[in-house]
Amino acid sequence: MTYYKASWAALGATLLVAACGGGDGGPKGTQDANPARGALMQSPPPRITSMTAADFTAILTVKQPSLLQLVGTPVCGVDVQYLQYGTVGAVGEATNASGALMVPTGSDAKCTGARPIVMYAHGTNVSKRYNLADFSDSTNPAYGEAVLMAALYAAQGYVVVAPNYAGYDSSPLSYHPYLNADQQSKDMIDALAAAKKALPTLVNPTTASSKLFITGYSQGGFVAMATHRAMQAAGIAVTASAPMSGPYALAAQSDATYYGNVNAGGTIFTPMIATSYQKAYGNLYSTPSDFYESAYATGIETLIPGTYDTNALITGGKLPMTALFSSTPPAPAFAAITPPTGTGSTDALFAAGFGTGNLIKNSARLAYLMDAMANPDGVVPTFTTGAPAANPQSTLRQAVKKNDLRGWTPAAPVLLCAGKGDPTVFYDLNTKLMGALWASLPAGLVTVLDVDSAPTGATDPFAAAKVGFAQSKTATINAAVAAGKDPASQVAMTYHGGLVPPFCNAAARGFFSQF
Amino acid sequence: MKHPLLSASVAALLACGASGSALAQATTVKFGLLNLEPNSSATAISGPFTPVDALSLKVKSKSTLSFNVAREITDNWEAELAMGLPPTHDVAVVVLNPAALPPSVAAQHGAIGAKVRQVAPTLFANYKFGDKNSALRPFVGVGINYTVFDKADSTAVNDAINGGPTTLKLEDSVGLALQAGLTYKLGGAWSVTGSLATAQVKTKLLSNTLGIERRADIKFSPTVFCLSVGYSF
């Protein structure tokens, strides 16, 4: 009897011990839920995809042959990691953000040893799920830019650090500090610090060289320049930067908009800018309905980034397609700029910025214009000082001035690339203007490239980008004609987001390869 | 990790064992070999950074030593606790859609991605046909299976597919179990038993690769063939 009891008990004990050995399923490595600036939330970061050079070549051959032709056959494999790191919001509040860390792999000499780092700042996107690390989902709104960065840089031996920005993807920040030069450069600097911590811990441990390049397109062009400026001020050595198609002279671009030169995408950019600066400075308006028409005011501060794409925002009635301003002048004196006419090929573009069902209240536009006239920008409406307004009184004009990038001088080489026909970020007001403001700097420090121009001759280092752009533009025109569509509007639709980026990006890589 | 049900079932058996001698009913212990074919079916693995419907898994068969204890209640009814040396199964990677995966991952179809150990005590109520003294007695049983996946380790292959060191966790399962078999008395206290059993086992797999959680639901309709030698006292 006693014996039986003991054996049953022993058996029970065995089962119980066996049943207690399971793991808790938690992550390995180290976690930091409240990371300091530049600290990793997960170390090592997870690898999302790993492609050999041959794998990547095969993928590009099938899915993106024109990109393959543009960037060349991958020399290195590419490992893509998902980075989550601590950063700050617009008022210094602690938060975190995510991004992609791509490293070259393989045995080619270009892929081993200490590799240069390229930081890439992405363009405007309205979808919160934008994630440059998500190579598993070709429907992710970041997929195209992510593949471009992998093919252009990582597969040619560069480490790529590309943040998604605070407010996107897994970032808990409830808004995005859009075109906030201070916050966005901090986000970039923090992503770089986190990436450097991660590099030696990766599945394929990687060493960075001392070369640091910064580039970005559109919003990212602005962020790239702001980051170069901030790093220079902080004593972080930048080897070279290539901001592309960015609104660097933000106050001038903004004044031009309110003067009626409404850019393509203005109904998206305007609320993104207003929300960003309202969160940062708190003084743009008391309530959104001070600024926006009532049809759009409710919920507009949490609209972008959100769970939709631009089309859904417009078809869902959340934002008007193009009518930023009312077609009724805010005062009789402004009839000639509601909309402006006699501007040549841009008349149609500007006219589309006006209509019924407009986004911005006439009272808000009037207040802006009155201040713009009393305290004019040095470029808009006419070139005077070239500098932002000395003492703007409009809180919105104060905000865009605060984030205007005029007035700094790069100490490391800069390539400014854009296309002169850009209907979204005006070339003359931004790229050409910055080039002019920096014209007296030592030769070679600043290079301005208009891909929408003819090669200057046989020695033009950017001839390929210019010829490629021209061919691409011609193909767009021919396709429009064949489809019975208006060629000019088809070119305008794809100019900023489709035609220019590949060639400016390719030119940027060529520029970086000199260093 | 606590398993109250398991504790309860063991406690019940302890009570059964304690009272057994007083009722002078036979207890049989059986040692043998069993083969467990899990017949697993799993949903596609889902989660962040995971191509949709591209990867799944298959749990492979395993043989192990069995250990059963049966206690007669009446001439025709007995209670039986079926156990065994906990088997560790290989879990194979199943590639559902190679086109959605990087070639290095698509090439891993059939590779072993994990090793999973299960502890699956099953308590049966068996009905034994025929006379108590018959040499050959068929039986059928119905019972309750409790499966604990007490150890689940990701292999280097799986770590590489998932993008880093990966932990795995599988939920416990409780379900109906059925068995049928034959016992042949060899003479004296010895007998030999062959049985075929199955059970309803469902679990949820949670995989965590450096913070990325991926999931799959797994169902098993296992076929367990067991051949054992028994000793009654």
Mean pLDDT by 10 residues, chain B (233 residues): 42 38 72 97 97 96 97 95 96 96 93 97 97 94 97 97 96 98 94 97 97 97 97 94
How far is A491 from A348, CA to CA, in rounded Å? 13
Chain B residues in contact with A19 by the CB 8 A cut-off are: 1, 3, 6, 119, 148, 150
pLDDT digits (tens, 9 = 90+) for A79-98: 999 999 999 999 999 999 99
Interface test with A, best of B119, B146, B158, B204 (most A CBs within 10 A): B119
How far is A418 from A427, CA to CA, in rounded Å? 7
What are the tokens at A236?
């972080």
| pLDDT at residue B25, as a whole number | 72
What are the tokens at A360?
């911005």
| pLDDT at residue A1, as a whole number | 39
> Is residue A80 within 8 Å of A102, Cβ to Cβ?
yes
Of the pLDDT bands very low, low, confident and very high (cuts 50, 70, 90), residue A24 is: low
ipTM confidence:
0.86
Given the DSSP bridges, would you call strands B212-220 and B201-209 parallel, antiparallel or unpaired?
Answer: antiparallel
pLDDT at A63 over 60: yes
How far is A414 from B12, CA to CA, in rounded Å? 79
DSSP A370-439: HHHHHS--SSSSS-SSSSPPSS--SHHHHHHHHT--TT---SS-EEEEE-TT-SSS-TIIIIIHHHHHTT
Provide CB contacts within 8 A for B14, sequence distance 6+.
Answer: A5, A8, A9, A12
- Tell me the pTM: 0.91
Report the range of poorest mean pLDDT among A141-145, A179-183, A192-196, B15-19. Answer: B15-19
Give the pLDDT mean for A106-129: 97
Of B10, B169, B212, the CB nearest to A15: B10
| pLDDT at residue A23, as a whole number | 53
Query: From A170, which residue of chain B is nearest by alpha-carbon distance?
Result: B48
Query: From B20, which residue of chain A is nearest by alpha-carbon distance?
Result: A1
Q: Residues of chain B with pLDDT > 90: what percent?
A: 86
Chain B residues in contact with A52 by the CB 8 A cut-off are: 103-104
Give the pLDDT mean for A49-59: 95
Residue B75 distance to chain A (closest CA, Å): 22
pLDDT digits (tens, 9 = 90+) for A200-209: 999 999 999 9
Give me chain A's average pLDDT, please: 94
> Is residue A326 within 8 Å of A233, Cβ to Cβ?
no
Window 323-342 of A, Cβ < 8 Å to B:
none
Q: Pick the residue with more confidence: A11 or B120? A: B120
Of A5, A84, A136, the CB nearest to B51: A136
| pLDDT at residue B187, as a whole number | 87
| pLDDT at residue A308, as a whole number | 86
